[in-house]
Every structure is written in C-alpha cells, then in structure tokens.
Chains A and B, each alone.
Chain A
Amino acid sequence: MRRGLIAWSKEQVPPSALDARVRRVQQALGAQGLDALLAYTNFTRPAAVSWLTHFIPYWSEALVVVLPEGAPLLLASLSKRMFPWAREVSHVGEIVPAPDLGRAAAAFVEQRALEHVGVVDLEHLPWSVAEPMGIGAELVDASELFAALRQPADRYENALAARATQIAERALAAIPGQPPHAAEILAAVEVTARLEGAEEIIPRISEIGDRTAVELSVAYKGVWIRLCRTYPLVADAESWFKAVLQDHAVPPPGKLTRRTVESCIGSSPLSVVEDQDRVYRRLPAGAQAVLSVRLNLEDGPWRAAAPFLVRA
C-alpha cells in the first residue's frame, strides 16, 4: 500500500494546472468520437488519475471519468467516510460511491447513455471492472490518446520530480559506510525518504560482483523517479553517466550491456519506452524520463539510473 505522505499543496500543483490537463483530454475526446475517458486507479497503476486530479489511492480502487465538459468525476470504492479525505488531497467534481467498482461504472455508463468509452490502458483494466462495464458500452483503448497528451511534463510536475530526486539522493546519502546487512541499508533509506515526505519508496539492492547496486524508486506527490548508485563508487563511470544524462556523446568506460528509458505515459508510474534494442515510443522534448544503464567494467559490473528531461 501507499503509506507515506499523501497531501495536496495547491502551491505545488494549482487547481488551474489540473484543470488545464483535463481540458486537453476533453478537447481530444471530441476529435476521437468518444463520449468519455475513463482512467482506472489503484496504488499499482495510479499515474493517469493522479496526473488528472492529484488523487492517489493508498488502497482500494477508483475510476476517474472525464466527460466532454465539467470537472472529472471520481467513482471510488473507498468507504464513504473517506470521501472528505479524498476531497482534501485531490481536485475532483462529484465523488460517486462505488463499493463494487465494476457494477457502479456500468450503472454510470448506462445512466449517462455513454456508448463509446475510451479507457486508458484498457489492456490492464481489471476484469472485475471491465466485465460488467463492457456489457453496456463499447470500450475503446484510449492509451494512445492519453500518451500523446501526457508528455512533455509541465513545470509543476518537473518541480515534483526534482523534489523526488532530492529525497532519493538524501536517502542514498544516509546509507551507513560499511553496511553489513541489506536490512540496515533498507532501514536507512526508508526512514530518510519518509521523513523527507516521500509518498512511497521501493528500494532494490543487488550484489553485482564485488559491488552493491542500490536502486531507489521514489514517489513524491504522484511523481515517480528512480535513482541507482553502485558502491563503491567508480569515478569514471559516474562521470560518463552524468555526461550521458546531459546528452553528451561520450564512450562508456566499459561495455554497455543494458540501456532502458522509462517515462510516465499511462496508468503506470514508469513504463519502458526505449531499450538498447528498440524505441517503443518516441518522447517529445521536455518529457520527464528515467535512464537506467548497466556497464561491464574491467573489474566487474556497474549500474546507474537517474531522471532526466528529454532534450529537443
């Protein structure tokens, strides 16, 4: 579950910024002949809904419905007692109780006579939601529509990503000098990141040859980044990675064995858009992304990951 800080600061993400994102979706709906766009959320796939409304489910599931006009509606299977909390942390219009999300969504679609319903990441929509809803309406995959709007990031998202990166850097800096156990590394990064206000942190520790790679995936107010460092640090590999992040063509100090670019283009916080073999989706300039690399150095493997903004 999400158990870090969940809060909405209107200074960090003004309602007008969220309204602008929703308006872009509404404009695209008409062009695609869709009656509505649905975005499903649980804490595994929260990204489309958090981008539109700042709603981040700590548990349970919900659907955001964007109609051609008006504020987005939230169909939430959370207990009604949680609705005041949901209002506090997000920017939505009506909140509709939906203890059985699939049936509630089906009823909503029927009441509104929605015939062509676009769904972000339809392929991942849980069957418990899709099955009842699909009976009365044509479900259309709106992943491409959404992905085309989702990037580049706006300045508010960039600021949140910068803060997430700062949290991850501080968490990595808190790792004890000679940690004998992975549990000590995990405890150090957890407490540091959460005290800094992380919404969530997913640490992964890998023993690679004589080195230890620590990757932290950190969420701050709905925006995810990854940061990976290999210990002990290798100066020339670190310098090379910094240069690559700044788009400089520099030969690696070893054999590049893996290269992955991830970005937020749908309901998943980060999806692979490019690897060493192919480009799955070309990102526009200004897109928020994460670069992960692996090198085989002369004395063993080495890894790194960091967020970056796609250049023109």
Chain B
Amino acid sequence: MDDLKAQRHRRLTAAMAEAGIDVLAIAANPWRSDYLRYALDVTVVEGTAIALIERYGATRLLLESPAEAERLGGEWTRSPPTLAAEILGSLKTKRIALAPRQALPYALARGPYRESIGPATAMLDRLMLYKLPAEAEAVKRAAVLADEGYRIFRDAARVGRAEYELVADVEAFFRSRGCPENFMILGSGGVEVRGMHPPGERRIARGDLVTTELTPCPEGYYAQICRTLVVGEPNDAQRRAFSVYLEALEAGVAAVRPGATMGDVARAENEVFRRHGLGDYVTSEYTRVRGHGIGLYVDGPAVLEDVTLALEADMTLIVHPNTYHPEVGYMVLGDTVRVTANGCEVLCRTPRELICVAA
C-alpha cells in the first residue's frame, strides 16, 4: 500500500502541476471519502474533513470530530470550512483549487475559488477512473474478501433470523479480517420484493429469495459481489428466472474490453432480457443501473445504455443485471471485473448459481 500511496501522490502532484494548482483543498466526509483517500490515504468516519495540500509542501488536515482529529493526526476545529477559508485567504500568492463539488461545504465553496471547483473535481475524477495497475490489484484483493464474506452471509441466512442479524454476522467477519468498511444492502421475500434496502426486522422464511449486494473495502478499495439465494429448494419459476440473469451477466462480462463503452456492456445485458420478453424490466421503473465503476468509491460511473465512457485496461467495474422479475421478485447476480488488454478478468470466484440453503 505504501508503494501505491506513493504512486498516487506522484500522479496527483503531476496533475496539479499540469493544471497550475499550488494548493488543492479536498473536502471529505464518511460518504465521500474517496477523493481524500486518493490524495492522502485517509478515510474519515465521522464529520467533515478538509485537507489543504500544497503541491510541493506541507499538508494540513482539518477535522470537525475531535476523535477523528486524534485518530488521523489532524487539527480539530468546530468548523473546518471556515478555518480552511481563513487559511487559504492568507495564501495570497498561491494558485488555489477546491474539490470535490459533492463534498465541498458551502462556507468554503462560495468564496473566491468557486470557479476552480468544476475543473479540480474533473481532474481528480480522471485520476480515480483511470487506475494504476496497483489500484486494480487492490480491488482484486477486496474481491477475495467479498467472496469470503458471501460465504458468511450464506451461512447466516437461516429461517427465523432477522435481516439485520445477517448483516451483523457479515460485519463481524469483516472486522475480524481488518476490513473497516462495507457497502451492503439486501432483500428477502417473494414476488412482492422490488429492490434491496438496508436491513430491517423482517425474518427469513422458507421459500424466500434472499438477495444481497456485498461490498467490502479492506484497503480503501471496494469490490462488490451480488448473489441470490433461495431458502429451501428453488421452484421452476425461480430457476427459469435465474437462467435469464445468468445469461445476462455472461453477456455483460463478455462485452467488457478496452474500447467498449459502459453503454455496450449495458446493452449486452439488456438484450438478453429483451429476448426473453422482459424488456420492461430493464427500465428505470424496475432497476437503477446495470453495473457501475468501482474502486475508491463504491458507486462509480453507471453502466447504462446511454453512457459513452470507453473502457480502458485496469478500470474496474461491477457488472450486475439486477432487476425485478414479474414471476419471482427482485433478483441479483453480479461480479466485479478488471478490464485487461484483451477483455476482462472476473475477480469474484463465488459460483454463479442460484444458491440454496436449508429451509
């Protein structure tokens, strides 16, 4: 990781030099820590953080939470945006830029550097999108943990257990493996289930489809796996439905190669549904995206038919034809992949099958 951190720092410094930026202020919070992680390998878990990064000089990290300031070795202030604005205001001869737009607090962004926000955010987005090989390797290691985590989830899904109890088992496993973060939603039930959500109090019942999107982030990089299991023996409708998702995932993965677009991948998945007379179910009425970029942020550029972003080697994404099926309910299946010189490497190893657990 130290090597990776140094490589990222060199890329950032070069990008700042090219853009003529002397000082870059990066805002972060637990939702959008990805930009700060890229720059400083720092993940904030509470409150607002603002890093002031001089291109060839010192870095100051201002934190709203006293506990975070201690944990990360930064400076505590009740208002990081106000203090950051004061500090930047004292650097009159420096060329200053702010990012990212999604996390920058109003008190800092509304000031004299507001014109820098768009270009500086785009600069960081490019750095995070076009990954170093070492970054793709970090995603690959996260995918190994995603596979292991799914085994824990599968074992946890027993009749009578509440949804939040399943998550408890998975979270304990990830913490025991030193993984501090995980994006995870799930669903349980039958044809009435139209999506996934954070865990509720519903208890697993015989015949349920139990879906999950599980996304550990062990070294600052996420990898995701999506699988559906059946409590008991799957019925014919569930088997038939699953075969469509399997075909769609395989088609989507086969479309991933350098030069192909996110739109190409989505079309490959969706054509399978359309061929099976399920075209209505690949619209926004029933599904959000057909996959997305993944890396320092869990929900990168969308895999949708109108997205023209072209894939390049070492980009990482999840391909997941997750959607509602009118006969069985919401079903998910997805693997994280890494774009290679000729196609892609599938990073998840959990078999692509409709998993059955004892009723």
The interface of chain A, by Cβ under 8 A from chain B, is 1-7, 42-45, 58-59, 61, 79-82, 84-85, 88-89, 122-128, 130-131, 134, 139, 183-184, 186-188, 190-191, 194-195, 197, 202, 204, 206, 215, 217, 260, 268, 271-272, 280, 292
A123 and B82 in contact (CB under 8 A), knowing A130-B110, A186-B175, A190-B172?
Answer: yes
Decide yes or no whether B130 CB sits under 8 A from chain A: no
The interface of chain B, by Cβ under 8 A from chain A, is 29-31, 45-48, 64, 66-67, 70-71, 78-79, 81-82, 101-107, 109-110, 114, 117, 162, 164-165, 167-169, 171-173, 175-178, 182-185, 194-195, 197-201, 284-286, 288, 298
Decide: B102 and A81 in contact? CB cutoff 8 A: no
Decide: B29 and A42 in contact? CB cutoff 8 A: yes
Decide: A59 and B183 in contact? CB cutoff 8 A: yes
| Chain B residues within 8 Å of A80, by CB | 284-285
Determine the residue in chain A with the shortest Cβ distance to B177: A183
Minimum Cβ distance to chain B for residue A296 (Å):
16
Minimum Cβ distance to chain A for residue B196 (Å):
9
Alpha-carbon separation in the docked complex, A245 to B45 (Å): 27
Determine the residue in chain A with the shortest Cβ distance to B215: A1
A3 and B67 in contact (CB under 8 A), knowing A123-B106, A126-B105?
Answer: no
One of A79, A127, A280 near B195 (C-beta < 8 A): A79
| Chain A residues within 8 Å of B67, by CB | 204, 215, 217
One of B46, B79, B167 near A4 (C-beta < 8 A): B167
A6 and B199 in contact (CB under 8 A), knowing A79-B288, A183-B177, A187-B175?
Answer: yes
Identify whether the interface residues of A are mostly helix, strand, loop, or mixed. mixed
Decide: B66 and A127 in contact? CB cutoff 8 A: no
Decide: B199 and A122 in contact? CB cutoff 8 A: no
| Chain B residues within 8 Å of A271, by CB | 78
Provide a sorted-by-A list of 19 A–B residue pairs whose CB atoms are within 8 angstroms. A3-B171, A3-B183, A5-B162, A5-B164, A6-B200, A42-B29, A80-B284, A81-B194, A84-B194, A122-B106, A127-B110, A187-B172, A187-B175, A191-B169, A194-B165, A195-B165, A204-B71, A271-B78, A272-B66
Minimum Cβ distance to chain B for residue A62 (Å):
12
Alpha-carbon separation in the docked complex, A80 to B283 (Å): 12
Listed from nearest, the 3 A-B pairs whose CB atoms lie closest are: A194-B168, A191-B172, A123-B107
A268 and B47 in contact (CB under 8 A), knowing A190-B172, A194-B167?
Answer: yes
